[in-house]
Amino acid sequence: MFASIERVPGDAILGLIELFNQDNNPNKIDLGVGVYRNSQGHTPILQSVREAEALLLTRETTKAYIGSHGAPDFAQHMLPMILGEQSPVLAQQRASLTQSPGGTGALRIAHDFISRCLGTDRRVWVSNPTWPNHHAIIKAAGLTSAQYRYVDEHNQLDFSGMLEDLQQAQAGDVVLLHACCHNPTGFDLSQAQWQQLLELIRERQLLPLLDFAYQGFGDGLEEDAYAVRLFAEQLPEVLITASCSKNFGLYRERVGAFVAIAADATQMETIRSQIAVVARANYSNPPAHGSAIVATILGSQELSTLWHDEVSQMRQRISHLRHSVVDALKPHGLDQQFTCFTEQRGMFSYSGLTPEQVTHLQKEFGIYMVSTGRMNMAGLTEHNLTYFSQALAAVCR
């Protein structure tokens, strides 16, 4: 039976891990895989997480299931973090949160919910480019994707192209938006542009799905939530997916959230019942440990303060690296060509490098990034910055 099954290519980004591990170059640099790294090149366990886990060892009393929607205290703390402590949406009981296995799991729940409850005849509009797994998730849910322009040929945000393409969307179509720290480009909309986009979505009667995977890595935990809170408060129906992988460093614990906003509390109860069915058919119950860590941190004034400081340190380190790269490229006359690094936000940057240049960096210098030129800025350190800038200058000559 299995003999007829065809082999398929592995994930391009995850495949870089194996290639990087096999490389004997002592100066090799991994800029491909999307995880935060500190100045020593390691993905650390946050101190706030360590202390929360120590508390859980003494407090946890059971390993029973936590239910299809997840742990109630996780939702109790995550909803205000996403929507705001004083959110009118929360006061009106228009929001529901379902815990998921990571942000990817939240996206799968969102698209399965759309497919099950709204039908498969609507398109899901995604940015060009976007996180590649968006397309796989949309397809797996039985939905069809369409693309809107996001970056132009000069490696700049193409907001006018984005609006022009979304004018072609039909009423009821879904628009998948990166709430902040766009992956893979790092280019984000301004507040004025978000306002303009909101009006287009309202006029075209589209359903926004905001992928909020990097809260705190752009301008701050509150500042990065601008678009999410704007849309939730101004529109009757909004879908949001969130991840705790980056800002809590809980990559392997798989902690995420799917938030649905409905027109009123009664409609929300109906929607919530459907989401439970979707989750039940997928993984039944989410894992408890990671969400317990998050709830413990956010439920403690001391740990929450410590965590806020740690998120700020990660954000500031990435911002400093962006400017340091451009400064390191000045002696090579490339600072103007790569000024985009300081215009982008979050971990990722769309460098503008060609696939041929990316291959050159990999084969000649042991520097690994995605073939599109997307690079994880957190993979750079003060120790490899000079080597990276020299290599980049070599391939750009």
For residue range 175-193, list pLDDT tens digits in order: 999 999 999 999 999 999 9
The answer to whether 354 touches 346, Cβ cutoff 8 Å, is no
Residues 6+ apart with CB under 8 A from 247: 214, 215, 216, 217, 221, 311, 314
Per-range mean pLDDT, top range of 222-231, 326-335, 385-394: 222-231
**Is the model's pLDDT at 142 over the cut of 90?**
yes
Helix (H) or strand (E) holding 275: helix 265-282
Alpha helices by DSSP H, listed for 5-155, are: 12-22, 47-59, 72-83, 88-91, 102-113, 132-140
In the prediction, which pLDDT does 272 show? Answer: 96
Question: 110: closest CA among 216, 261, 234, 236?
Answer: 261
**Is the model's pLDDT at 8 over the cut of 80?**
no
In the prediction, which pLDDT does 176 show? Answer: 98
**Is the model's pLDDT at 13 over the cut of 80?**
no
211 is catalytic: yes
**Is the model's pLDDT at 14 over the cut of 80?**
no
What's the pLDDT band for 18 if we cut at 50, 70, 90?
confident
- Bridge partners (DSSP) listed for residue 174: 124, 207
In the prediction, which pLDDT does 252 show? Answer: 95
Active-site option among 125, 165, 188, 246: 246
**Is the model's pLDDT at 11 over the cut of 80?**
no
Mean pLDDT of 106-130: 96
CATH of 65-299, one of 3.90.1300.10, 1.10.10.10, 3.40.50.300, 3.40.640.10: 3.40.640.10
Mean pLDDT of 81-86: 97
Per-residue pLDDT of 95-107, as tens digits, reads 999 999 999 999 9
**Is the model's pLDDT at 9 over the cut of 80?**
no
In the prediction, which pLDDT does 1 show? Answer: 87
Residue type, 27: N
**Structure letter (DSSP) for residue 332:** G
In the prediction, which pLDDT does 15 show? Answer: 76
- What residues does CATH 3.40.640.10 cover in the chain? 65-299
CATH fourth-level superfamily of 11-45+303-396:
Aspartate Aminotransferase, domain 1 (3.90.1150.10)
Strand ranges (E), the chain: 29-30, 95-100, 123-128, 144-149, 174-178, 207-212, 238-243, 256-261, 348-350, 367-368, 374-376
In the prediction, which pLDDT does 192 show? Answer: 98
Higher pLDDT, 24 or 239: 239
Question: 334: closest CA among 384, 374, 389?
Answer: 389
From residue 72, give the alpha-carbon distance in Å to each of 5, 66, 97, 283. Answer: 43, 8, 9, 18
Mean pLDDT of 348-364: 92
Q: Residue written as tokens 């069915």? A: 277
Active-site option among 30, 112, 125, 131: 131
For residues 390 and 380, what is the distance between their CA atoms, to the nearest angstrom? 13
Mean of pLDDT over the chain? 94
- What residues does CATH 3.90.1150.10 cover in the chain? 11-45+303-396
In the prediction, which pLDDT does 16 show? Answer: 80
139 is catalytic: no
Active-site option among 158, 211, 224, 307: 211
In the prediction, which pLDDT does 397 show? Answer: 79
What's the pLDDT band for 137 if we cut at 50, 70, 90?
very high
For strands 256-261 and 95-100, give the pairing.
antiparallel
Residues 6+ apart with CB under 8 A from 310: 46, 47, 48
In the prediction, which pLDDT does 3 show? Answer: 87
Per-residue pLDDT of 366-376, as tens digits, reads 999 998 999 99
Per-residue pLDDT of 206-255, as tens digits, reads 999 999 999 999 999 999 999 999 999 999 999 999 999 999 999 999 99
Per-residue pLDDT of 146-164, as tens digits, reads 999 999 988 999 999 999 9
Question: 109: closest CA among 264, 242, 248, 288?
Answer: 242
Mean pLDDT of 37-49: 93
